[in-house]
Structure 1
Amino acid sequence: MSGPGIDVGRVRADTPATSERVLLNHAGASPSPEPVLDVVVGHLREEARLGGYEAAAARADDVERARRSVADLVGGRPDEVAFATSATDAWESAFWSFPWSEGDVVLTCRSEYVTNVLNLLVARDRFGVRFRVVDDDEFGQIDVEALGRHLEDPSVRMVALSHVPTQGGLVNPAEEVGRRCREAGVTFLLDACQSAGQLPLDVAALGCDLLTATGRKYLRAPRGTGFLWARADLADRLAPLGSAGAEWTGPTTSRLPGGAARFERFERSVAGLLGLGAAVDYALDLGLAAIGDRVGSLAEHLRAGLSALPGVAVHDRGVRRCGIVTFTVDGVAPAEVRRALAADAVQVWTTSASFARIDLGERGIDEMVRASVHYLNTTEELDRTVDLVGRLAGASR
């Protein structure tokens, strides 16, 4: 199986680990391709030769090229992109730049990610900000009609939504959420941590005002990288906590730069940023539409194989689904499934209720196995994985 525009042999050759093991933890940290590693290691060698500041100055134009690449990835402008160390770093920078007041309301979904909800709890406890969870529809995605009713409350100031939850293949209907938010005049903060790099993203079509993402997952960039996209006219009205990108203009004065630069801190891994830019370019060269098609097809192939196994339950929800596949095996703890597969050179991960208590708690799920596919995987690898899971399920009966 090879999607249009994707040379599977080439991308596998760019990832030597594919000759040693089946990589199915791309939703955790996807191994960087060799061209990305070359950029990162090359800059680290330059830092060792020249010194960190001097090496950074020599690559300043390349860092800005990386910013343009990220802007191209999401359909925005370079001045709307701020680099971050993670999706959580970017999300918190955006969220806490709002001047929250007691009684303000934030709407979120049942499948929202743990760190986002933890920040909502802090806002509740320290500033009296209320958050409300919008119900799911019959397919397990955010109920857009229910969202519309919540948006009639003038106290609602923000909708915070995970585009793709960490705990399953669901793709929330972000475009429809964005349309509702625009109609209501409410800020839309979209967590694209799991969608960036596996699905096409266009901030205009999504209708979001803020978008956050990490580098280490489907973009295949180094760990410790991420970004925030902030719509220009909104960014200029926000004031990040702490020093962020502010300039000290006098003993008792400071000034924030325009655009997303106000969210960006001085200290960062330049090697990581250059690697992020190279990873984004790698994805853009393959084509996000082609990536999305191939990832979706591979994931459905894996779901079908697992669903056919006696004693195995697949737990993914949603009308539209992506590359994350979650399942359990009767009588075998998810952590044991992960260890058993690792012993046969198949890398998967687990996801637990501690990462998604609103969603998984209500569904009565404590933990699941998470197998996340990417364009470099093959149907043969997935069939081998299904066969191994089948043996585990059979041995437990």
Structure 2
Amino acid sequence: MSDIRELREKIKPNKSDSGDGKSISSIVVAVQMIVSHCKKLKYRKKIVLVTNGLGTIDNDELDQIAGKIKEENIDLVILGVDFDDPEYGVKEEDKDPQKGKNECLLRDLAEGCDGVYGTLEQAVAEMDIPRVKQVRPTPTFKGFLQLGNPEEYDTAARIPVERYFRTYTARAPPASSFALRSDIAPGPDEGEPSTAALTDNEPDGEGGKLTNVRPLRSYQISDESAPGGKVDVEREELAKGYEYGRTAVHISDTDLNITTLETLAAMELVGFVQSAQYDRYLHMSNASVIIAQRANDKAALALSSFIHALFELDSYAVARLVPKENKPPLMVLLAPSIEPDYECLLEVQLPFAEDVRAYHFPPLDKVFTVSGKVMTEHRNLPNDNLVDAMSKYVDSMELVEKDENGYALRYMEIPRLTKSGSL
């Protein structure tokens, strides 16, 4: 944001309506700056000219300028205030003849370099339309979808496939460059290695409210004999451990190397299951798509046959996936997906039988703030009236009548359901 504010102060629009042809001069200067900075490197080069079209424009060198813009592969966008655009339905009444002539010259310049020419009203309206950025997909696995071991059996089937993300969590970039001075945390909790330290030699943000931060990581353990009940430890003194239930199991580097499973990258089919017997809550990851190897018609035909077989039998396939060599294997589910012009396998990760997932939920009777303060009165917590009403509601569902001392008098009879022989 500071760069944008600085740019706003440096860029000043030209308010002169005299015939000095500054719109064309500004394009020439912009081309020179881009050429001197970018040279022959790969950049996305773009010039945007916003003008009212007044003044006199010299058209002697427009062809040379358009040729230079096209040669340097620069995108030129010309936006005019109240420029006539029949396609968009904009036409200025009582237009200055000189402005009409300039519009024709600027339109010819944009068309000569394969640029974009339009009225400013259309540009403002299109700002409300979101632009979807097309990204090049990166495969997360390239290998074989195989049934059987091809090294032991000649009848083993192998299909060259590729794996891409189907759904992926898109997170907003965190605002970690600046922080408010009043929001500096007092210190890390036990076992949580994270703090933020201010840098005194870096410039503050707008009005001194924002300041740059740098990460500072520290580790602490409980020690009753130390001041404050905690003592700092170095990272080299830490040991790796794995959580098993409520117990931390320590494994040394030597033992860890022994237990490392040597695997080869592959996707091996291990079984099939009916779609009605699979529950969707077993999904453990984002969804991916499995497609045939690109430019391989034989693989595409084989994978299509496998997809249609699963679809006709209303079944899913269970496979053992190793994305890369010496990576731990994953159990995945493969489901057929058939569209009018697209076929693929949808893949999600399955849990192992020994998987233990710990989920922590916030307490129902208190709220913890960011600074660690405990609040017992909050808009998300029930007050005394709600607690009393819920207590009476639960008591009203009691099936036992009690006296004043709380002793049971009699139990309510539950009517038995009998089957009638006549309808």
Category of TM-score, reference length = shorter chain: under 0.3
| TM-score, normalised with respect to structure 1 | 0.17
Larger relative contact order (CA 8 Å, sep ≥ 6)? 1
State the structure with more CA Rg: 2
Normalised by the size of structure 2, how large is the TM-score? 0.16
Larger strand fraction of residues? 2
